[in-house]
Structure 1
Amino acid sequence: MTDVSFVRSEMLPEKAPPLSTTGPVGWLRENLFSSVANSVMTVITLVAIYQVLAVFFSWAFQSTWEAESLSQCREIFAATGVEGAHGGACWGVIRERFSQLIFGFYPVELRWRPVLTFLLLLAAIAPVLFTWAPRKLLYLTAVFPFLGAWLLWGGAIWNPLVAMAGFAIGFFAYRFVSGAFGPLIGVICAALAPVIWWIFLAGPVAGLLTSIIPLGIEAVESRNFGGFMLSITIGVVAIGASLPLGIVLALGRQSDLFIVKSLCVGFIEFIRGVPLITLLFVASTLLNIFMPPGTNFDIILRVMIMVTLFASAYMAEVIRGGLAALPTGQYEAADALGLDYWKAQRLIIMPQALKISIPGIVSTFIGVFKDTTLVSIIGLLDPLGLSNAIRADQDWNGIVWELYGFIALMFFIFCFSMSRYSMYLERKLQTGHR
C-alpha cells in the first residue's frame, strides 16, 4: 500500500543560518547598518574618525627621537621636508626626560629601590587579586606596606618595625580589654592604642633602638620624590587603605549606636562636601598645627592621609549601596543560623555586598588614582608638575602635546588595567542566571 500521508517521518537536517545574519557581516548589519539613519550616522562617524586618525598618525610618526631641544626638532623637520614647525612629534623630550618623568629627582644610584618596591608590590597584590597565586605570598602582602616605605624613604630598619608594632599593640589591647569590658570597648581601645603609640612613642623608641643598633640604608628626602613613582605611591596607599576604612564607615553609618552613627555620618558628609584640593591645602599648610610641638610630619605622608580619607568617604557610600541592595532575606538567614553580628558580616553579608559594589569600588579606585595629579598644585612634582618644570627649561620651552600625550598614555594603561580586572572579577564571581 502506498503511503500518501503529509506527515514527514524523519527530521530534516539543520541548515546553516544565512551569512548575512552571522559573523562579521551579521554584526555589521545589526549594529552599524540596521537602518537608513543608522547607516548614515555610521558613514559620517567613520569619515570623522578617519580624518582625526590621519592627522594624529601623520603627526605621531613623522617624528624624531634624536633631538635634544625643540629647536633641534624644528631643524630636523625642516631638513626632512615636514611642513610647519609643529608638523611632527618631537619625542626627543620623552627620550631625554624619561627617567625624570618616572622617578622624579630620586638619586640615580638608588633607583633600584623604587624598582624593587614596584616588583614587590606586584608580588604582594597577586594573592589578593588572583586565586592562582601562591597563598604564602600573603605574608609578603602583610609586611609590604612597611617594607615598601622603608625601601623608598630609607633610614633605620627600626622605623618600619616600630610601625608594625603598633598593630600588635592594637591586637593585644583588643584581646585584653574586650574580655573584661566587652567587644565595643575593646574595638575602641584597639583603634586608639596604635594611634597613641605612633604619635607619641614610636619616634623616641625607634631613635633609641637606632642609637643602640644602627642598622639601615641611605635615607632619601621626600622632596626628591616625583614623577609616576610619586603618583603610584600615593595611589596605592589611598586605594589600599580606603577600602577597609570605607567598610568600617559604611557599617558605622548603619549602626544602632547613636554616637558611632553620628560620627560616621558627619565624617562622610563633611569629606564628600569638600573638594579634594581644599583637603590637600589643609594637609600642606594646616595639619602640622594640630600635631605636638617639634613634630616633623612628612608632606607626602600628609597628602597620603588626606587622599585616603577622601577616598574612604566615597568608598563608604559605594559599599553602603551594596549593603542596601542586598535582600533582607540574607540578614534573616544569618540570624536563623545563629551567627553574631561580626560573623554574619564576615561570612554572609559583606562578601555579597562587596560583590554587588565591584563596579563602584573600581570606579572610585580609578578616580583616586587620577586625582593624584592634584598634588602638583601644592608643589609636589607628580608627572604634571614635572611637565611644567620641563617646559620651563629653555631647551623645551613651548613643547606641550608630547609630554601630555605620554602622561595620558601612562595613566590610561593603569586605569584601563583596573577596569579590565573589574570586568574579569565580575565574570569570575557571576553566580546568577542571565
Structure 2
Amino acid sequence: MQGDKTNVAFVAQNEKPALPAPVTTTGPMGWVMANLFSSPLNVLLTLIAGFMLVYSLPDLYQWAIAKAVWSASSYDECRSLSPDGACWAVVSERAGQFTYGFYPEHLRWRPNLAFLLLLVAIAPVLYKLPYRSALLAFTAIYPLIAYLLIWGGLFGFEFVPSDKMGGFLLTMIIGCTGISFSLPIGVMLALGRNSNMIFIKTICVGFIEFIRGVPLITLLFVASTLLNYFLPKGWDFDLILRVLIMVTLFASAYMAEVIRGGLAALPRGQYEAADALGLNYFQSMRLIILPQALKISIPGIVNTFIGLFKDTTLVSIIGLFDPLGIIQPILADPNWNGLVVELYVFVAAFFFIFCFAMSRYSMYLEGKLSTGDHR
C-alpha cells in the first residue's frame, strides 16, 4: 500500500475469446519457419539451397523440356533438331524394350495382366478393404498365377524362356518376389535367433551372419555359375529362379536383423504380460509380441525393401537385361550410339518414383499406427 492506493488483483468475470495462433506458427508460413528458418544454420542452408536452385533450374529446364526432342528416329536426327536439348526420343522409340526386354510382342498382354493382378493382390495387404479375407486368399495364390502368366508352359500357354525377359518387367519380378518372401522368412529367422533351442538358434545365427558377410554380387555369381553343380545330375534351375532364391535369402538375413531390433525394443513387461495371460509361445507371438515389434520396425523394414529394389540392378552383371542392362544393346545400335545421359536419367527416374512411393507409404503407415513420437 502506498498512500491512498491499494493493489487489488483483477479477476475476470467472463470467459475471454480465444486469440488466433500467430501467423508464423500455422499454415504455409508456419511450415516455412519450422523447417527452413528455425535456426541460423537452417537459414544458411536454405539460402545456399535456394541459390543453387535458382542457378541450375533454368538451364535444367531448357535442356530437359524446352529444347528437348521427343520424336526422332536416331541420335543424329535429335542433334540436328536441337543440339543443346535432351533426346527423349530414344525412350519412346525403345519403350517396348525398356518395359519388357525381349519378351514376344504378341504375348505382352500376359505380363500386363500379371501386373494388374499384382495391384489386386497387394491391395488387401496394404489397406483394409471389404471382403479382405477373400482377397487375401487370392494374394496367397497370386505367385502361381503370375508364374503361369509370365513364363507359361501350362494350360496351353506358350512358354517364354527367361533370356527373353528384361527391362522393368525383370525388375518388378525380382523386386516384388524378394520383398514378398523376405519378410516372412526374416520373421522366422529373427524368432529363431531369439530362440532358447540351441540347435535352431545356431542355424539361424550362422545363416544370418554368413549372408550378411558376403556381398550380394558374390551370391549372384554363385547363382549364375555354381548353383547347378550342387544339384542332382539332370536337374537345371532357371537362371531367374536361381537369382530370385539368392536375392530373397540375402534380403531375409537383413530383414531378420531389423525385426530382431524391434523384438529387442519391446519392454520385458510385454513378454511377462503374455505369460500372465496363459498364452503359449505361438499365441503370444501372434497376438502381442510380433504386432508391436513389426510396428516398431516399419522404418527399417521399408528401408530394407528400398535397398532390395535398387539392388536388382546388379543382375545386369550376370547377363540379365534389367533396365540398366537394356541400355547396352540400345547403345550398340548405330542409330543411338553416343546417347548416354538421357538413358540413365530415365532409369534413375523410374527407381526414384518407386522408392519414393514406398517411403511415403511407410510414413503413412507409421502415422496410422501411431508409431514413434508424433508431436
**How many pairs are equivalent?**
365
C-alpha deviation, 1:9, in angstroms: 2.9
Structure 2 match to 1:201: none
Q: Structure 1 residue 294: deviation in Å?
A: 0.9
CA deviation digits over 1:69-106, x for unaligned, max 9?
110011111xxxxxxx4x10101100100111000000
Could you tell me how far apart the structure 2 residues matched to 1:66 and 1:293 are?
Answer: 52
Q: Which amino acid aligns with 2:288?
A: I
How big is each residue's C-alpha offset from its partner over 1:380-401, in whole Å with a ceiling of 9 and x where there is no partner?
A: 0000000122112111111112
- Cα distance in 2, alignment partners of residues 289 and 148 from structure 1: 28
Q: Do the aligned partners of 2:296 and 2:372 also contact (CA within 8 Å) in 1?
A: no
Which residue in the other structure is 1:140 paired with?
Answer: 138
- What letter is aligned with 1:66? S
Q: 1: CA distance between counterparts of 2:74 and 2:227?
A: 41
Work out whether residues 362 and 419 of structure 1, in 8 Å CA contact, stay in contact via their aligned partners in 2.
yes
Distance 1:36 1:130 in 2: 42
CA distance in 2, matches of 1:351, 1:38: 38
Of 55-64 and 374-383, deviating more is: 55-64
Instruction: Write the deviation string for residues 108-165 of structure 1: whole angstroms up to 9, x where unpaired.
Output: 0000000000011110111111102531212211111111001100002xxxxxxxxx
Aligned partner letter, 2:125? V
Report runs of 4+ in structure 1 exceeding 4 Å deviation. 34-38, 431-434
| 1:60 maps onto 2:71 in alignment | no
- How far off is 1:43 after superposition? 2.5
Partner residue, 1:283: 223
For 1:274, give the aligned amino acid: V
Amino acid across the alignment from 1:75: S
Distance change in 2, residues 1:384/1:133 (3 Å): farther
| C-alpha distance in structure 1 between counterparts of 2:141 and 2:15, whole Å | 67
Gaps of 5+ in 2: 1-6
Is residue 403 of structure 1 aligned with residue 359 of structure 2? no
Change in Cα spacing, 1:36 to 1:351, as seen in structure 2 (3 Å) is closer
Partner of 1:105 in structure 2?
102
Residue type of the alignment partner of 1:19: V
Cα shift at 1:42: 2.6
**TM-score, normalised to structure 2's length?**
0.93
Distance in 1, Cα, partners of 2:221 & 2:372: 46
**What amino acid sits opposite 2:46 in the alignment?**
T
Post-superposition offset of 1:5: 6.4
Instruction: Return closer, same or farther for 1:68/1:30 CA change in 2, 3 Å cut-off.
Output: same
Cα distance change of structure 1 residues 339 and 52 upon mapping to structure 2, 3 Å threshold = same
Q: Residue in 2 aligned with 1:345? A: 285
The answer (yes or no) to whether the contact 2:296–2:371 under 8 Å persists in 1 is no
Distance of 1:416 and 1:30 partners within structure 2: 23
8 A contact 1:104–1:226 mirrored in 2: yes
Q: Given residue 246 of structure 1, which amino acid in structure 2 is its aligned partner?
A: G
- Asked whether the equivalents of residues 181 and 248 of structure 2 are also in contact (C-alpha less than 8 Å), the reply is yes
- Which has the larger displacement, 402-411 or 307-316? 402-411
Q: Which residue of 1 is the match for residue 112 of structure 2?
A: 115
Structure 1 residues 121 and 26, CA, compared in 2 at 3 Å: closer, same or farther?
closer
Letter in 2 for 1:91: W
Correspondence for 2:317 among 362, 365, 377: 377
Q: CA RMSD in A?
A: 1.8
Partner residue, 1:206 = none
Contact in 2 for aligned 1:239/1:368 (Cα 8 Å): yes
Report whether the alignment pairs 1:238 with 2:242. Answer: no
> If the length of structure 1 is used for normalisation, what is the TM-score?
0.80
Q: Report the 3-state secondary structure (helix = DSSP H, G, I; strand = E; otherwise coil) of the residue aligned with 2:171.
A: helix
C-alpha contact (below 8 Å) 1:126/1:133 kept by paired residues: no
| Bigger shift: residues 299-308 or 407-416 | 407-416
- Summarize the Cα distance change of 1:318–1:55 in structure 2 as closer, same or farther, 3 Å threshold: same
1:159-190 deviation digits (Å, cap 9, x = unpaired): xxxxxxxxxxxxxxxxxxxxxxxxxxxxxxxx
For residues 220 and 357 of structure 2, the distance between their equivalents in structure 1, rounded to whole angstroms, comes to: 27
Match among 258, 265, 277 for residue 325 of structure 1: 265
Question: Is 1:13 matched with 2:11?
Answer: no
Structure-to-structure mapping, 1:30-429, within 5 angstroms? 30-34=34-38, 38-61=42-65, 62-77=67-82, 85=83, 87-135=84-132, 136-156=134-154, 215-429=155-369
The 1:54/1:269 distance shift into structure 2, 3 A limit, reads same
Give 3-state SS (helix, strand or coil) of 1:286's partner. Answer: helix
**1:73 partner letter:** C
SS at match of 2:94: helix
Could you tell me which amino acid in structure 1 is paired with residue 115 of structure 2? F
Q: Percent identity?
A: 61
Check conservation: 2:178, 2:248, Cα contact below 8 A. Answer: yes
Q: Measure, in 2, the Cα distance between the counterparts of 1:278 and 1:366.
A: 20
Change (3 A) 1:133 1:278: farther
Bigger drift between 225-234 and 412-421 goes to 412-421
